[in-house]
Every structure is written in C-alpha cells, then in structure tokens.
Amino acid sequence: MDFTEISKQFTDKYFPRNHLYIAGALSILCVLLILIPGGKEEAAVPAQTTQIPIPVTFVNEESVAKRANLPSRQLVLEDYVVTDEPVLEDYLVTDEPVLEDYLVTDEPVLEDVTLWQNIEVESGDNLSAIFTKVGLSDQQLFRVLNSSDEAKVLNRLYPGYQLDFMIPDAGELEQLRVLKSPLEGYLFTRNNNDYEVEPILKEAQIQQAFKVGEIADSLFMAGQREQIPAVHIMDMANIFGGVIDFILDPRTGDQFSILYDEQYLDGEFVGNGQILTTQFTNQGKKYTAVRYINEEGEAGYYSPEGESMRKAFLRNPLDVFRISSNFNPRRRHPISNTIRAHKGTDYAAPAGTPIRATSDGRVTRASRYGSFGNLVIVKHAGGFETKYAHLSRYARGISRGDRVRQGDIIGYVGATGGATGPHLHYEFLVNGVHQNPRTILNKLPKAVSIEPAEMERFNQQTAGLLLQFEELNTSRLLILNQPSAD
C-alpha cells in the first residue's frame, strides 16, 4: 500500500468529510482576506465585498439524542423563552408609599385638644382656692354656685371628691364635672352666661364577697387580717351594737362572718356596697343579722325571725376605745381632788376618733360649754338625752336643730375644756336625771320590729339570702374541720 492510500485511510478514519469541508472553507476565507489590498486612501472608501456562502452543518437532534441515550423531542416555543427576563412585576416597586404612609397616627385627636384639668379634693381644700388654682375667677365661681339647686353640692365638698374642669380658653369655664364617687356626680355645662346641670349616674356591676374571721385580740385587728374593709367592720359593730358590747363582751375564739357587695365599673373595683348578711358568735351565742328594705324604702338589719337588731340606743358611742372612768356618784375629781359625782362614762380614745349618736334625735347644742369643752347634746324621743363632751371638733353639718340618726357621726374625740387627755365624756339622762349608760340600756325598750302583716314580704326578700349565707358558713366549717395533710 503506497503513501497516498495510507493517507486517504487515515483521513477518512479521523477526519469526517463534513469537518474537512468546514476546514477547507475557512482556509479559502483566510486566503481571500490576505489578498484584499488595503491602505489609508482605501480605508476612507468602503470596498466592494463579495458575499461567499459558508456551509454550516446543523447537528441533527435525533443523532445527538442517540449518542447521549436521551429521548428525542420536538422543540417548542417555550424553549426559546428566556425565563430570567424581567417581567411586569419586576418593575412594580412594592415599597412605594401608599395613602396609609401619609396618615400620622400620633396626631392629636379631638379628645386631646379638649383638655380637662383634674383636681381631687383633699383635707383642708376650699372651693375658692381650687378655682384659683385652675385659673378661674371668683366671678366664675359665683356663676356656678348660683346656677341651680344642685350646685349646693359644691358647698359640701369632702376629701376624695373629683373636680374636672374643661377650660378651652383661659379663664372661661366650659364644663365642670363634680364626681362624688366614680358612680355619682353632676355635670355643669355653660349656656350663655349661665350653667345647666345634669346628674351623672352610672350603674356598677355587683359581685358578692364572703369573709370570715376569728377574734384573737380585737374585732378590728381580726378584720384587718382577713382584709375586710374597715368601713364594714365598723358597720358590723354598729349592727350588733345593741346586743354586744365590743369592749367588754368579745372573747378570744369568737368568730364572725360577713357577706357584702363589691362594686365594679368596666371591670375595675370602685367601692364596697352594703352588708347583706352578717353573723357574730360571742361566747358561744350566735347572732345573725340580714338586711331588709321595707315598703317605704327604708333599710335595716333584722334577725331571721324579723326582730330588729337596732335597739333604742347603741351600747357605746365609739368603735375604738377603752373605758378610763365609769359612772360614779362619789368619784374624786382628778384635778380638784374633791369628791364630785362623775355623771357619765369616759372613753379614752385617740384624738380624732369618730363619735356616733347612740340613737335618733335632734341636736339641741353644738358649741363650747365650760369644762365640757366642745359639747354636743342630742334630745331623743321618750324623755331621753345624751351628751358628748371634750370634742376636738364637730362633724361637718352638725349644728343646733339638726336631725341625726342612730350611728351618724356627730364629732371627733379631743381634749378640750377640763380634759386631762383625749377622751369622750358621755352622759345619759332620763327625764333630766343622770343614769349609768352601761346599765340603763338593759332596761330600755327595743326598737320596733317587723309587723306580723309584713312578715310574708320579709321572708320573701330574705329567705334566699339567709340560705346562701348558711351554705357559705357550712362550707367554711367543713374546710376548717378538715384534717391537715401531714
């Protein structure tokens, strides 16, 4: 085999014919590019070029698939779509500001623009000073006070009252809100040069609270341990004040229970309601009192049998005290050292302790009187009279001619007149004759109880309450008698 034949076989084996055609065409193109004359002058004028077709072999898809052992398929339009090309959504700026971005939520709203000035009345405050404090004149005060009968509430302000002033323009009172409690008050609204008054009455949600206690030292300490409101401890002492002497009678181990209302407004505690039922066990004797409202709307406390717990007189005019000197016709006076009858009972108590009227009556004196110091005298029906001496001050609104009810506060313990220390000197007279306050009460008639004709109404109103109270007390005893888990 000659060289020519060997070369031909080599070429056919390693260089396919198609490749040779392409190589040949490229060689011819290179020769033509070399042979084309060029220069600076010719560069300015485009030369006439000859288009030479170059054969290009397209790879057959089917053959490629066979070599790669892949299934063949027909190309479709989607093969020519570039999926990474930007689409319409790519040109939408999602962080562009929208209408809500231009709304300033912290802008003041109407309620913020209308400002209220809030004042809580404290001990020693007076209305004129409060008006001056909020920038209002005496003339404004005069206009409010003379606007209506309801404005009289402003003459009887008590610590804890809330006064809310709405003053949009300096010195001009638009509205005044007087809240005696979160549930009750008045709203004064300016109408030209006058003020119109509307009552504010809100209804509280009522929940019942049941508490129990045991005497270890005093009723009040026992109540504090059980977190019973002080006002209800005082009320309980007042309810049983006609049958129990809370200084001499209570003993260690005495027990008590109390069911009362609690008031809530919008889920927030706003105050304590009335005692519904209460019980005190003194030296083994049980006393139970239930609240009843008669047809005239008067509320009182009665035994389950309808007997009034309210006796003609309370046994004591104070809730916290010790007896420093009893009634004694032949007592030696501590200052003059002479034998002078002590015509009353002395109750030693801290200065400022509230003093209660022991029965209904009319005030015949509320002024200073010699060695008695500040003195209150109350005249009661049936020829009875009580005196309260050495007061530090009188209760607000107490003056000669006023009517008082049993349990009303008439003054506060002091040491005025001939007193050697803070105490209350209490006298009890029957038809002008002094009697021992601690023994005369057992001889006095009881207060009027429920008439037989009213007993059906009484039972309908109190039976369910007494049953509930009994069940609560029974549950308490079961818990107390359970053996400890040791």
Asked if 134 and 160 sit in the same domain, the reply is yes
36/40 Cα distance (integer angstroms): 14
For residues 344 and 295, membership in a common domain is answered with: no
Contact, 380 vs 359, CB < 8 A? yes
Task: Specify the 3-state DSSP secondary structure of 463.
Answer: helix
- Report the pLDDT value the prediction gives residue 50, as an integer from 0 to 100: 46
Closest CA to 428 of 372, 373, 384, 371: 384
Q: pLDDT by residue (tens digit) across 164-193?
A: 999 888 888 999 999 988 889 999 998 887
Domain co-membership, 228 together with 252: yes
Task: Flag whether 46 is in a domain.
Answer: yes
What's the domain count of the chain?
4
Residue 208: beta bridge partners? 261
| Cβ-defined contacts of 16-24 (< 8 Å, 24+) | 18/57, 21/55, 21/57, 22/55, 22/56, 22/57
pLDDT of residue 157: 84
CATH number for the domain that contains residue 221: 3.10.450.350
Q: Are residues 339 and 287 in the same domain?
A: no
**297 and 373 both lie in a single domain:** no
Most confident range, picked from 7-16, 38-47, 268-277, 328-337: 268-277
Residue bearing the bigger pLDDT, 5 or 65: 5
> How do strand 299-302 and strand 285-293 relate by DSSP bridges?
antiparallel
- The verdict on residue 54 lying in a domain is yes
Domain end among 154, 186, 201: 201
Portion of the chain with pLDDT greater than 90, in percent: 33
**Greater model confidence, 338 or 444:** 444
Q: Do 179 and 211 belong together in one domain? A: no
Q: Is residue 12 very low, low, confident or very high in pLDDT (cuts 50, 70, 90)?
A: low
Does 146 score more than 70 pLDDT? yes
* Cβ-proximal residues to 106 (8 Å cutoff; 6+ apart), any chain: none
Of 68, 87, 104, the one marking the end of a domain is 68
Position 333 pLDDT exceeds 80: no
- Given a cut of 50, is residue 366 above it in pLDDT? yes
DSSP 8-state class, residue 332:
B
Return the amino acid letter for 329: P
What residues contact residue 113 under an 8 Å CB cut-off, 6+ apart? Answer: none
Same structural domain for residues 339 and 393?
yes
Judgement on whether residues 176 and 234 belong to the same structural domain of the protein: no
What is the rounded distance in angstroms from the CA atom of residue 376 to the CA atom of residue 36?
141
The residue count of the chain comes to 486
User: What would the DSSP string read from start to end of 402-420?
Assistant: -EE-TT-EEEEEB--TT-S
pLDDT reading at 52 higher than 50: no
Note the maximum CA span of the chain.
173
Contacts of 180 (CB under 8 A, 6+ apart): 153, 158, 161
Percent of the chain with pLDDT over 70: 70
Residue 81 lies in a domain: no
Report yes or no: 345 and 440 within 8 Å, Cβ to Cβ. Answer: no
In this predicted structure, which of 109-123, 217-231, 362-376 has the lowest mean pLDDT? Answer: 109-123
Per-residue pLDDT of 110-138, as tens digits, reads: 444 457 889 999 888 888 889 989 888 88
User: How many whole angstroms separate alpha carbon 270 and alpha carbon 412?
Assistant: 27
Do residue 379 and residue 414 come from a single domain?
Answer: yes
Residues contacting 6, CB < 8 A, separation 6+: none
Which pLDDT tens digit goes with each residue over 73-105?
554 545 444 455 555 444 444 555 555 555 555
Last residue of a domain, one of 410, 426, 443: 443
Q: What is the per-residue pLDDT for 108?
A: 46
What domain range includes position 430? 322-443
CATH of the domain at 432: 2.70.70.10
- 120/161 same-domain check: yes
Same domain (yes/no): 280, 180: no
Return d(Cα 323, Cα 424) in angstroms, integer: 10
What's the confidence (pLDDT) of residue 16?
64
Higher pLDDT, 42 or 427: 427
Give the three-state DSSP class for 56: coil
Domain assignment present for 87: no
**Best-predicted range by mean pLDDT (137-151, 199-213, 246-260, 426-440):** 199-213
Contact residues for 361 (Cβ-Cβ < 8 A; gap 6+): 378, 379, 380, 381, 384, 386, 403, 404
At residue 208, φ and ψ (nearest 5 deg) are: -95, 145
Q: Is residue 364 part of a domain?
A: yes
- Would you say 72 and 65 are in contact if contact means Cβ atoms under 8 Å apart? yes
| pLDDT for position 480 | 58
Residue reference for tokens 């005044």: 176
Query: Both 276 and 356 in a single domain?
Result: no
Mean pLDDT over residues 364-379, rounded? 95
Measured distance CA(216)–CA(222) in Å, rounded: 7
